[in-house]
Amino acid sequence: MSLSVPQNILDALTDVVMPRLKPEPQVIETTRVGDFDLPVYRTGALVIGSGAAGLRAAVEMKRRGIDVTIISQSAWGGTSACSGSDKQTLHTANTKDQGDNFQAMAEAIRAGGAMDEDTAYIEAVGSVRAMSSLQYLGLPLPQDHLGGTLRYQTDHDEVGRATSCGPRTSRLMVKVLAEEAIRLDIPFFNQTTAIKLLKDGQGVNGLLAIRPKEGTDANPYGLALYPCSALVIAAGGPGEMYRDSVFPNGCFGTLGMALEAGLELTNITESQFGISTRREGFPWNLSGTYVQVIPHIYSVDGDGTEHHFLADYYRTTQEMASNIFRKGYQWPFHASRMLDFQSSLVDLAIFRESQKGRRVYMDFNRNPEAIDAPFSLERLDPDVSIYLRNAGADQTLPIDRLRHMNPLAIELYKRYKVDISADPLEFAVNNQHMNGGIAVDIWGRTNVPGVYAVGEASGTHGATRPGGSALNAGQVFGTRVAEHIGATGNAASPSQSDIANAAAPAVSEVTRHLDSDSTLTWKAIRTDVQARMSDHAGILCTASDVSKALADARTLNARIRDHGIAVPRKTEIARVVQWQQMALASEAVLTALDHYIANGGGSRGARAICDPRGKSLPKSVHGPLPEVRFRAERDADKNSQLKLRRKGADFVITEIPNRSYDGDKSFFERDWPAWLTGDIYRRAAETSC
């Protein structure tokens, strides 16, 4: 029997209308910087980004009496509001029976390695508070009739700590947090691009941004200044770094800006790749029920001929179908799962078809074609058949199983003129998430005083992570950042710093491109960077390819430093700066990856380090696949992180042991005074990022 969900309910969970912003504050101050008169918007704390993590930080700061302002390149246009999957996951503590053991949850969060133990524990403990506060704000997380939260299993999650409002979970999170930010009357500047972090001898003192609407004869490029005492970077990950990407268009992140400001990055070797529809249409992750209903997957060559290519990899129909299903909760590519005919052999097969120039589809109106025997729901591996039986998904065709298990998955694509109930869906293996980022401590602080980072901008996620734990991390650390900024007392009122001196070199650096006679355009840089990263730093890497890619990236950045970038129109100055910074971030990623591989680093998380001397050899039904022989991960590498910072035109890399956590040794009477006096925040100085 299929689930019967009224259309109005499906519509409400699919068409999530975002709130209307209040008018922006008017300019009440200007200052002369070089040849320009720039508007000045003073604030105590400034949040860059309007996704779930940034909004959480802003709301929690406002509640603590902090004078806070939000700027956003495009309100509701980032990954939180625009990305997701079939039933997008919020990973949190499991309340089943006696509740979760937070240490066990922390161990699961950091199981992939290269993650600080204290950070994992913070995320585990904070998950209950994060979820309950979202529910208080109106996030419609599903419950059973006794009030228990409905949960399911997701990738790198063996317990079942995942919950969901459907495909728009993170958009709904953004909505309820945005509504709260508007209710609290937090100033919000939209269409504002952060380009230069400003510092003085004490740390951060503001930000240089570009606001096209500020353009005047005295300020033709729309430059604007935001003096602040605390700055929270929450602008997401570098989605534009890859050609093959499921990020929404225009997601640049702030890694390049962070490097220019002297911030340390960590784990930028670590990304996440998985099957999804392409960004040229409607970019969306194809995890969960999209593959758990076991559609037929095939490719089409240039002549229009279909290829049942998975039959060249798996030995039986049952083995192939069961591993298509497992992509639902083993969604990201993982090198070790290419072995023994596991689920990442599906990713490899799809990737190789794309390399041949073929287009890959999944068809929900056909069951998988046979290898040794016809497909049958009666012939599946036990874990798969038990799941489908418990879900009541015994319908004949994948589309009917999908309509039963998750009708929202069908509704979502219909909103973008794609009817998967009628037509096959084209997809590929794409970049989806940056697990590394700006290095932070237990309160979200960076190495520059007054600067914090949360969400995907921060490098807290380790080499792998349970699905949905990034959403949880943004909520937990958004709150902790607000707590720490509130405890310092530095941002209770607008900053009165003299920002003109710090702004002068930043303005000069930005406007130097205007006087350049360079033939290099930002569009050419985009093509160069994206092709290099997708072709040489994707799921399959070799030492020689990465080294060559790094040399090419260095050459590009040297050319930019020497000659600048052409600015065909003044309205494109923001894009010019963003691609200059993305080229820098790309070189940083390749520098770290080259260092990791050259020093014997093995395959983990998103990438297989292919090596003819590697001991891990995937096989297909036709035999070994020597071209994808790869190095196994070294256990020792799980215990440390690679940190990177800029030094002149070069980068310095250091290997830092993960911070440890040996269990909760708190005692109420002894430790309560540290809370009452605020000593818990001052103790943070003992824990370096």
CATH number at residue 599: 1.20.58.100
SS3 letters for 323-341? Answer: HHHHCCCCCCCCHHHHHHH
Q: What is the mean pLDDT of residues 348-354?
A: 97
pLDDT tens, 524-536? 999 999 999 999 9
Pairwise CA distance, residues 193 & 191, whole Å:
7
Same domain for 281 and 419, yes or no, is yes
What pLDDT is attached to residue 513?
A: 80
- Sheet of strand 223-227: strand arrangement: 193-200, 203-210, 223-227
Q: What is the mean pLDDT of residues 40-60?
A: 97
Pairwise CA distance, residues 325 & 386, whole Å:
12
Nearest to 176 by CA among 52, 49, 294, 351: 52
Angle at 446 (CA atoms; ends 437, 115), nearest 5 degrees: 50
**Domain final residue, candidates 398, 431, 464:** 431
What pLDDT is attached to residue 287?
A: 85
Q: Cα 397 vs. chain centroid, distance in angstroms? A: 33
Nearest to 462 by CA among 248, 277, 606: 606
Residue type, 170: S
Q: What is the mean pLDDT of residues 76-86?
A: 75
More confident of the two residues 100 and 73? 73
Q: What is the mean pLDDT of residues 112-132?
A: 92
Same domain for 516 and 635, yes or no, is yes
pLDDT tens, 390-402? 999 999 999 999 9
At residue 106 the predicted structure's pLDDT band, cuts being 50, 70 and 90, is: confident
**Domain final residue, candidates 431, 451, 467:** 431
What pLDDT is attached to residue 11?
A: 75
Same domain for 415 and 514, yes or no, is no
What pLDDT is attached to residue 2?
A: 46
* The pLDDT of residue 440 is above 80: yes
Q: What is the mean pLDDT of residues 652-677?
A: 88
What pLDDT is attached to residue 95?
A: 57
What pLDDT is attached to residue 416?
A: 85
Of the chain, the end-to-end C-alpha distance in Å amounts to 53
Q: Lowest-confidence range among 83-87, 95-99, 420-424?
A: 95-99
Looking at the DSSP bridge assignments, the partners of residue 163 are 90
The DSSP code for 239 is G
Q: What is the mean pLDDT of residues 79-100?
A: 68
pTM of the predicted model as reported, rounded to 2 decimal places: 0.94
pLDDT tens, 507-552? 999 988 877 788 999 999 999 999 999 999 999 999 999 999 999 9
The DSSP code for 309 is G
What pLDDT is attached to residue 92?
A: 79
* The pLDDT of residue 201 is above 90: no
In a domain, 237, yes or no: no
Q: How many structural domains does the chain have?
A: 2
* The pLDDT of residue 14 is above 80: no
**Domain final residue, candidates 410, 431, 452:** 431
Pairwise CA distance, residues 248 & 238, whole Å:
11
Pairwise CA distance, residues 61 & 54, whole Å:
11
Residues 224 and 25 sit within 8 Å (Cβ to Cβ): no
Pairwise CA distance, residues 431 & 607, whole Å:
11
Same domain for 541 and 393, yes or no, is no
- CB hemisphere CA count around 221 (13 angstroms): 27
What pLDDT is attached to residue 24?
A: 94
Same domain for 421 and 514, yes or no, is no
Looking at the DSSP bridge assignments, the partners of residue 232 are 47, 452
Q: What is the mean pLDDT of residues 119-148?
A: 90
In a domain, 93, yes or no: no
What pLDDT is attached to residue 99?
A: 57
Q: What is the mean pLDDT of residues 437-457?
A: 97
What pLDDT is attached to residue 529?
A: 98
- Map residue 495 onto helix, strand or coil: coil
- What residue has token string 């000069």? 508
Give me the domain span that covers residue 327: 274-431
In a domain, 596, yes or no: yes
Same domain for 393 and 527, yes or no, is no
Q: Which helix (H) or strand (E) holds 416?
A: none
CB atoms within 10 A of CB 301: 13
In a domain, 646, yes or no: yes
Mean pLDDT across the chain, nearest whole number?
Answer: 92
- CB hemisphere CA count around 91 (13 angstroms): 28
Pairwise CA distance, residues 443 & 87, whole Å:
30
Q: What is the mean pLDDT of residues 226-248?
A: 95
Same domain for 561 and 649, yes or no, is yes
At residue 283 the predicted structure's pLDDT band, cuts being 50, 70 and 90, is: confident
Residue type, 589: V
What pLDDT is attached to residue 98?
A: 46
CB atoms within 10 A of CB 660: 9
pLDDT tens, 262-279? 999 999 999 999 999 988
Nearest to 266 by CA among 612, 661, 643, 581: 643
What pLDDT is attached to residue 686?
A: 47
More confident of the two residues 568 and 664? 568
Locate all alpha helices (DSSP H) within 499-658, ordered by sequence: 500-511, 522-536, 543-563, 573-598
Listed in sequence order, the residues at least 6 apart from 500 whose beta carbon sits closer than 8 Å to its beta carbon are 31, 32, 33
DSSP for 178-218? Answer: HHHHHHTT--EE-S-EEEEEEEETTEEEEEEEE-GGG-BTT
- What residue has token string 């008017």? 26
Residues 337 and 392 sit within 8 Å (Cβ to Cβ): no
Same domain for 306 and 407, yes or no, is yes
* The pLDDT of residue 373 is above 70: yes
In a domain, 553, yes or no: yes
Same domain for 278 and 425, yes or no, is yes
Same domain for 544 and 411, yes or no, is no
In a domain, 322, yes or no: yes
Listed in sequence order, the residues at least 6 apart from 38 whose beta carbon sits closer than 8 Å to its beta carbon are 30, 31, 32, 219, 223, 224, 225, 503, 507
Same domain for 644 and 558, yes or no, is yes
In a domain, 414, yes or no: yes
Pairwise CA distance, residues 395 & 453, whole Å:
47
In a domain, 79, yes or no: no
Pairwise CA distance, residues 187 & 180, whole Å:
12
* The pLDDT of residue 102 is above 50: yes
Sort strands 650-657 and 640-647 into parallel, antiparallel or unpaired: antiparallel
Q: What is the mean pLDDT of residues 492-513?
A: 92
* The pLDDT of residue 688 is above 60: no
What is the percent of the chain where pLDDT is above 70? 96
